Structure 1
Amino acid sequence: MVAFLMRMISYSAATANGSINLMGYDSFYHMRRILYTTFNFPHPLNFDTYINYPAGFEVGWPPFFDFLGALLAKVLGVGNPSLYTTEFAGALLPVLLGVLTIIPLYIAAAAIFDRKTALLGALVFAVIPAHVYVSRFGAVDHHVAETLLSTSAYACFILALKWAREGSLSLASLKTISSEKKLIKSLAFAGASGLFFALLIYTWIGALVFVSFILLYAFIQTIIDLKAEKNSDYLLISSTVALLATLIFTIPLSAGSLRPGLEMSAMYLSWFQVFYVFSMLAGTLILWGFSLYISKKGLDWKYYPAALILISVAGLLSLKILSAESYSFVIEGMSFFLGKGEYISTIAEALPIFLTTDGTLTFSPILGSLGLCFITALGGLFLLGLEWIGEKSKSEGVFFLLWSVFFAYLTLSQRRFSYLFAVNVAILTSYFLWVLLDSFDFETEVKKLAKSVPIHGNNAMITSKAEMETKSKRAEKETKSKKAEKETKSKIKSKSKINNLSGSKQNSQPDYFKIFSSLVLIGLVFIPCILAGFAFAKDQGLIDPVWKDSLTWLGASSPETSYYLDPAGTPEYGVLSWWDYGNWIVYQAQRPAVSNNFQTGVDDSAHFFTTDSEEEAKAIIEKLKVKYVMTDNLMAGGKFGSIVKLAGENISKYVNVQTVNVNGGLQTIATAKKEFTETEVYRLHQLDGSNLGNLRLAHESTASVDDNDTVSDVKIFEFVPGARLSGTADPGQNITATLELSSNTGRKFTYQNEVMSDKNGSFEITVPYSTDNNAGGVSALSTYSLNAGRNTTVSEIQVTEDDVLKGNKIEVKIPDSK
């Protein structure tokens, strides 16, 4: 219940204004797929012409999470859900999956420790911010499913190991397994683990790393067993069954999504996943065979890791020779989890958890996502390492330790993986808390406190009949106990003396200092988590209102595009913005996006926004069939560094960065260079498109963050052929066209464009605005004026909307300046 309530705190914000307000960026594309799957049930959306416009894009996300969302919508809508019901189902799904994750967490913790540790661990997990963030109402993303399925797979594998170890599972015991309940349970849980692994592969393309961990663990545990001269059959049978089940379940689950032929791709569901799981299974069998050889020959255990490391390196080199593509998939996957890659460094959530974007040490992300639980988890990890070292180690305990270290590494390399680490942090925190609470005799003191509280009668409504029955029972007890009382009288006296000497009255009273200290300790863990969870659930991730305002306008005021609900054909035009906002554009405005959160179209977008050439910008727009360009303050500010990086440039080309002493402290100050003011994004967002002939402001968000109301948060520009003002002036003369305008917010601004007449005195200026006020929310306050020198100005130049849309030429007669 606590977990459910924590994740539903965002409900009021997510359902404001009678609609479902989704959280974050990826939620919008997941909802698009849920919507498509619901109305084309059970078929998923695999190729979408509304992203990577105009080429379209094959979606790499496996479909299981979106299928669950569509299935829930079907259930809630009794087979025929409305749009609101579908969106509500998608928003509710992460809450349900998040709450369900408590079950495998409890099972794993109870198997490794005990029930009280499991119960407290479940309570910690219910409020831990990192998981609340990905499982709150409206956060429609597959991360919550990753956590549920990986925890379920590992919990089942832990039980398989536990029953296998306790039942002494071996090759010989398989002959009589039908009579051994523990061994049957072990194999059943190993098979269940494989099923969850297969579902995980069907949910997240990076799931193979979780499968790989089984082989890594088997390798390390076998070394421990060999060193201790223990048989590892129990381990390797469990691992083999789990991986075999993964392989068996993966093929039918993925069959409907596999690409034609025998194509191998790590970016999509393909035969690569099947081949990879098969290689993990083969690797486990090699581990098993080699461990048996080492044991039979009585060789030193050190030969085992040395030989297998050499075999692994040789296998990787062989893969490179036999299939360079598969080898590159493996290397790219390793690079991803190491936090390396062309785009990863520009994604905030993919940064190392202790570093800021500029490489400065920070503790804010770890404290914000895990609170003080991170510190207690480290304490628990350290204590477990001491407790389970050497012969005291249990196979399931070693698995949990390695699992925790593995997820800790993922979190350190990329902060977004803290939602996975939250499971281990919760269990380790619970273990560490109980170690400290036991040192305070917390349970004993609480029992004393409960006994010391006087119990009063309920009220005067107690019936006399009940009183009589009570008196009768007391009389019977007194009669029976008289004899026993006489026999034990001397014993009671002696005990009384001892108790008096030891202060029995004091011992029966609770130690309030211990109780208070224990409560403070619990509060230090839970209160920061609850506060951070409230902040996550209530305030983070909603689409920016100014973006929603702008996208709503775009969807209502721009020409409708085709194939939105059936993206088989190519729509009429696209929208260009930075990739962060692509999913918003596709779902909220229902318009195709050149760049979206799959980092599609990034190269073209980056070059468009950083170019200082109007010709190059126009060529990109025409190539991509773009009709609208969207900018915001961040693209012309904080996000500009990422745009520059992906354009292949260095930020120093555009900005001077200096560290100066301000009031006794160091402060970094960035000063724009001329190169920055000449970029397309600056000229659009900061100058309203002045000096550009084919892009005109069509709409700006109604909210502004600038005190002077000069720059709005989001601006939408329309690409038009533009009217051509042409004429003849003196050779080499600067010709400037000027028009006064008012935006949809009532803000007044001036548009200017300038050219130089050629050697014959001819000139042509392209202008994007009409003077007949037919350009939507932006209207002209004057006619065009043309300045051709200090004393030569031509005014009252009329430009119709038809002139702008058809690229008509308008002759302008410049008076002879002589």
Structure 2
Amino acid sequence: MIITNNITRISETKKIPKKINLGIISLLIVFMIAFLMRMLSYASLTADGGITFTGYDEFYHMRRILYTTFNFPSFLNFDTYINYPYGFEVGWPPFFDLLGALLAIILGAGQPDVHTVEFAGAILPVLLGVLTIIPVYVIAASIFNRKTGLVGALVFAVLPAHVYISRFGTVDHHVAEVFLSTVAYAFFILALKQAGESKLSSGSLKNISSDKKPVKPLVYSAVSGLFFSLLIFTWVGAPAFVSFIVLYALIQATLDLKTGRKSDYVFICSAVALLATLLFTIPLSAGAVREGLEMSAMYLSWFQVVYLVIMLTGILLLWGFSSYASKKEMDWKYYPGILILVFGSGLLFLRMFSGEYYAFIIEGMRFFSGKGEYISTIVEAVPLFLTGQGKFTLSGVLGSFGLTFLTALAGLFLLILELKSEKSRPENIFFLVWTLFYAYLALSQRRFTYLFALNVSILTAYLFWVLMESLDFENEIKKLIKRGKGERKVSETALQTEKKSSLKRKSKNRQVTESKSKTDEPDYFKLVSGTALIALIFVSSIWIDVTYAKDGVSIDPGWQDSLEWLEASTPETSYYLEPSETPEYGVLSWWDYGNWIVYVGKRPAVSNNFQTGVEDSANFLLTDSEEEAKTIVEKLKVKYVMTDTLMAEGKFSSITSLAGKEIGEYYEVETVKGDTGLRTVATPKQALLQTQVYKLHKLDGTSLGHFRLVHESAVNSTDDGNSKENTVKVFEYVKGATLSGTASPNETVMATLELSSNTGRKFTYQKGDVADENGLFEITVPYSTESTGDGVHATSAYSLTSGEKPITSGIQVTEDDILNGNRIEVKAPEGA
């Protein structure tokens, strides 16, 4: 008996760890799934033995991580390799790059090589993405229950919008934004929940020495502030996420006034969170702020500190006015109305007395609403349901969320219905307002879907469990399992019972068995419905994740080839890893490719993805005058120009926009009726054919005297000769040699040279000049006739014609003539 009791006690004590272990094991499985989804791109990004990165900004983050690794803890703040030749102060806060550098140092045991640094940068988003599972689970479990938390974490693990920004090789701070903001909000939700349970109030704080209940929400609020400060140290847009706390406090206090509830708990948690954010931000940012007392929302400066002081002051004012309204039993509707009036008055005050601060706030609002001079040209900044041309599309929402967007909408509807109750919990209100805030951001600019992914995951999990419980899916699964395991055993037991019982007993047992059998029979309609719901949520997401993995490489082969050539075959520039001095020359291209040029080509870029130098680049590409183009490149100390097919075609409208011109100046755009309906047809105008980008990329610069083709990417073509991929061309700016001589007055003299590119493509260079009234002509040419190996080279000597009459041939031009701008006198042979 004693032994039996001991065994019973032991088995009972083991039940609790089993339950705990089951939850931990389930979360570990979710972690593993999240890790695998984010490592799907590993194979494509490491196929050549090195590591290729996705996107555009990722390459500049890698440059900063590389610099920081070898100069830890210093980070790259001013870079002479961008906005060449002036250099540029980088506005990105450094925390993400510091994390990448620290990881590289750890992986490299204190002495990492470049490959280790690149691997650390590539794996960092994966690690941060997987870690975000924890706060997602905590938030969902706090607002709903642990089951919802687990399913929410699983949905988040595979949701494309977040997988996309946390894949291997996506070295961008967006994943850190999600992680840090989610952790900060998770702790704030825990603070609200604990504050409600402990009935936190201003009175309870006076007795905190004897009553420890208020300590926990205060600690949670302070930790929330710590992560907010790290977020500020990561992204310049972070103050908007901190401001959300004030917005929530206003809404919650309004609801509390309506229901007659005191709001001390909300304001205490908010004030502590903001105060902690302020106190942590000051030392974190002190070493990174600009010199003096300059205020800037685009850099780490004293702006963030002053902004936090304003937010903290705002919370205290909200608190004071809420207490006053409660004591005076004012109508709750006056509270938000008066505060909105105060906010408007504050903006007016700023406009009158501090135009700079007012401009920061207005520009911040424009940024989050997708407005602005440069934002309008960024594809990822367009609204979620619109194309860049303003047409309705579902591609953005399906590519980000699969079919979970629909389930999240249904979950949001159910949550709103639930929150109609006057006793709704503060944490639920917080989650609802947070969801609407992120939904607005995602709808305004599709790039913010990575933020909204968390809310979509939790709402989907909420709906999932509502539907699963209505279907009694878990019980139906148990029935199906029991039926498979116990069918034979039940039938044998029933048979033995029938043999041993009397006829009357046998009949009764048969009826009981049949009744029980019907109760244990699984409902296949519910099983199929539940399985279909699971497939709806997960299959579409995983399929999109796999698609992203296949298209992981952002640099197409043409750019990769040309950038590698640029690094290997052009004169090396100085100060690459110590960019405090101005390098010898720069490379001009469109801003989309600037970060690639700097990191892969290791050359300074006039314009890059910070939209630096875009006006100069746009003006160069659109000018119809080679003299003006020459003036621009000499002013900017440009030696090479890189063009691609997209710059001459698809990106051309953005180039015209940033040059202050209209696309209608270059294309005749009209809508025509075709076999498949209406379609837009763009017919080039003469102005397009005169632009520098057209002359360079489409005509190989064959009419120009100072730009010569030095490299072009190989092109795969279809049977009909149409290119299947982007073509990239590199041109060198040279002084050019001048061919001078005499011909018939006012006659057009043409210099001709046959050339072969590095791909073996043959083309003809022709440059002409009209002889003056004395018959004098001068033609500046950029190509030498000397052999240059496998690169672009002449296959003939220059020949001159006057009208249709040949003047002379066999003119040799050396490389020295081209580089030094030498003059070559050309004399027609006697009798010509």
Shorter-chain TM-score range: over 0.9
Q: Distance in 2 between matches of 1:15 and 1:627?
A: 32
- 1:294 positional shift: 0.7
Pairing 1:543–2:574 present: no
Structural mapping, 1:25-40, within 5 Å: 25-40=56-71
1:79 counterpart residue number: 110
Residue 278 of structure 1, aligned match among 309, 320, 325: 309
Q: Distance in 2 between matches of 1:676 and 1:363?
A: 33
Q: Distance in 2 between matches of 1:771 and 1:107?
A: 71
- 1:705 positional shift: 4.8
Q: Distance in 2 between matches of 1:381 and 1:390?
A: 15
2:827 counterpart residue number: 813
Structural mapping, 1:566-605, within 5 Å: 566-605=578-617
Q: Distance in 1 between matches of 2:511 and 2:644?
A: 78
The answer as to whether partners of 1:660 and 1:666 remain within 8 angstroms in 2 is yes
Pairing 1:418–2:449 present: yes
Of 295-304 and 189-198, deviating more is 295-304
Q: Distance in 1 between matches of 2:427 and 2:772?
A: 82
The answer as to whether partners of 1:792 and 1:815 remain within 8 angstroms in 2 is no
Deviations 1:331-371 (A, max 9, x none): 11110001000011111111111111111100011101111
The answer as to whether partners of 2:646 and 2:726 remain within 8 angstroms in 1 is no
Residue 694 of structure 1, aligned match among 702, 706, 721: 706
Residue 201 of structure 1, aligned match among 232, 241, 255: 232
Q: Distance in 1 between matches of 2:540 and 2:574?
A: 49
Deviations 1:669-725 (A, max 9, x none): 111111111100000001000111000000001234575388970000000000001
Q: One-letter code of the match for 1:377?
A: A
Deviations 1:782-813 (A, max 9, x none): 11111112224321111111100000001112
2:651 counterpart residue number: 639
- 1:211 positional shift: 0.5
Pairing 1:773–2:787 present: yes
Deviations 1:596-617 (A, max 9, x none): 0000000000011011111111
- 1:320 positional shift: 1.9
1:486 counterpart residue number: none
Q: Distance in 1 between matches of 2:771 and 2:805?
A: 16
Q: Distance in 1 between matches of 2:553 and 2:369?
A: 26
Q: Distance in 1 between matches of 2:536 and 2:511?
A: 38
TM-score normalised over the length of structure 2: 0.92
2:204 counterpart residue number: 173
1:19 aligns to what SS in structure 2?
A: coil
Deviations 1:103-125 (A, max 9, x none): 00100100000000000000000
- 1:208 positional shift: 0.7
Q: One-letter code of the match for 2:536?
A: L
The answer as to whether partners of 1:132 and 1:537 remain within 8 angstroms in 2 is no
Residue 758 of structure 1, aligned match among 772, 788, 792: 772
Deviations 1:228-281 (A, max 9, x none): 111000001000001001000001111110111111011100000001111111
Q: Distance in 2 between matches of 1:349 and 1:333?
A: 18
Residue 146 of structure 1, aligned match among 177, 181, 185: 177
Q: Distance in 1 between matches of 2:194 and 2:203?
A: 16
Q: Distance in 2 between matches of 1:132 and 1:448?
A: 36
1:263 counterpart residue number: 294
Gaps of 5+ in 2: 1-31, 489-504
1:451 counterpart residue number: 482
Structural mapping, 1:235-250, within 5 Å: 235-250=266-281
Deviations 1:34-69 (A, max 9, x none): 000000011100000000000000000000000000
The answer as to whether partners of 2:41 and 2:552 remain within 8 angstroms in 1 is no
1:44 counterpart residue number: 75
CA separation of 1:704 and 1:612: change in aligned 2, threshold 3 A: farther
Structural mapping, 1:719-798, within 5 Å: 719-774=733-788, 777-798=791-812
- 1:321 positional shift: 2.3
Of 398-407 and 535-544, deviating more is 535-544
Pairing 1:121–2:152 present: yes
Q: Distance in 2 between matches of 1:658 and 1:82?
A: 56
Q: Distance in 1 between matches of 2:53 and 2:681?
A: 36
- 1:182 positional shift: 4.2
Structural mapping, 1:375-394, within 5 Å: 375-394=406-425
Q: Distance in 2 between matches of 1:661 and 1:677?
A: 27
Q: One-letter code of the match for 1:616?
A: E
- 1:166 positional shift: 1.6
The answer as to whether partners of 1:250 and 1:274 remain within 8 angstroms in 2 is yes
Deviations 1:202-233 (A, max 9, x none): 00011111001010111111111111111000
Q: Distance in 1 between matches of 2:726 and 2:717?
A: 7
Q: One-letter code of the match for 1:416?
A: R
Q: Distance in 1 between matches of 2:223 and 2:715?
A: 53
TM-score normalised over the length of structure 1: 0.93
Q: Distance in 2 between matches of 1:776 and 1:624?
A: 30
1:480 counterpart residue number: none
1:708 counterpart residue number: 721
Q: One-letter code of the match for 1:347?
A: I
1:656 aligns to what SS in structure 2?
A: strand
Pairing 1:534–2:546 present: yes
Pairing 1:672–2:703 present: no
Q: Distance in 2 between matches of 1:435 and 1:740?
A: 74
- 1:393 positional shift: 1.6
Q: Distance in 2 between matches of 1:623 and 1:56?
A: 14
- 1:502 positional shift: 9.7
2:214 aligns to what SS in structure 1?
A: helix
- 1:501 positional shift: 11
2:139 counterpart residue number: 108
Pairing 1:654–2:685 present: no
Q: One-letter code of the match for 2:408?
A: A
Q: One-letter code of the match for 1:726?
A: S
The answer as to whether partners of 1:698 and 1:775 remain within 8 angstroms in 2 is no
Q: Distance in 2 between matches of 1:758 and 1:649?
A: 35
Q: One-letter code of the match for 1:736?
A: M
RMSD: 1.9
Q: Distance in 2 between matches of 1:331 and 1:540?
A: 36
What is the number of residues matched between the two proteins? 782
- 1:737 positional shift: 1.1
Of 776-785 and 580-589, deviating more is 776-785
2:260 counterpart residue number: 229
2:370 counterpart residue number: 339
The answer as to whether partners of 1:774 and 1:801 remain within 8 angstroms in 2 is no
2:384 counterpart residue number: 353
Q: Distance in 2 between matches of 1:521 and 1:279?
A: 47
Q: Distance in 2 between matches of 1:99 and 1:525?
A: 19
CA separation of 1:521 and 1:817: change in aligned 2, threshold 3 A: farther
Residue 161 of structure 1, aligned match among 185, 192, 216: 192
- 1:455 positional shift: 6.7
The answer as to whether partners of 1:700 and 1:712 remain within 8 angstroms in 2 is no
1:395 counterpart residue number: 426
Deviations 1:708-765 (A, max 9, x none): 3889700000000000011222332212111100000000001111222223332211
- 1:542 positional shift: 2.8
- 1:14 positional shift: 1.4
Structural mapping, 1:404-415, within 5 Å: 404-415=435-446
Pairing 1:99–2:99 present: no
Q: One-letter code of the match for 2:721?
A: N
The answer as to whether partners of 1:31 and 1:90 remain within 8 angstroms in 2 is yes
CA separation of 1:498 and 1:284: change in aligned 2, threshold 3 A: farther
Q: Percent identity?
A: 64
Q: Distance in 1 between matches of 2:96 and 2:803?
A: 65
- 1:661 positional shift: 1.7
Q: One-letter code of the match for 2:43?
A: S
1:177 aligns to what SS in structure 2?
A: coil
The answer as to whether partners of 1:775 and 1:801 remain within 8 angstroms in 2 is no
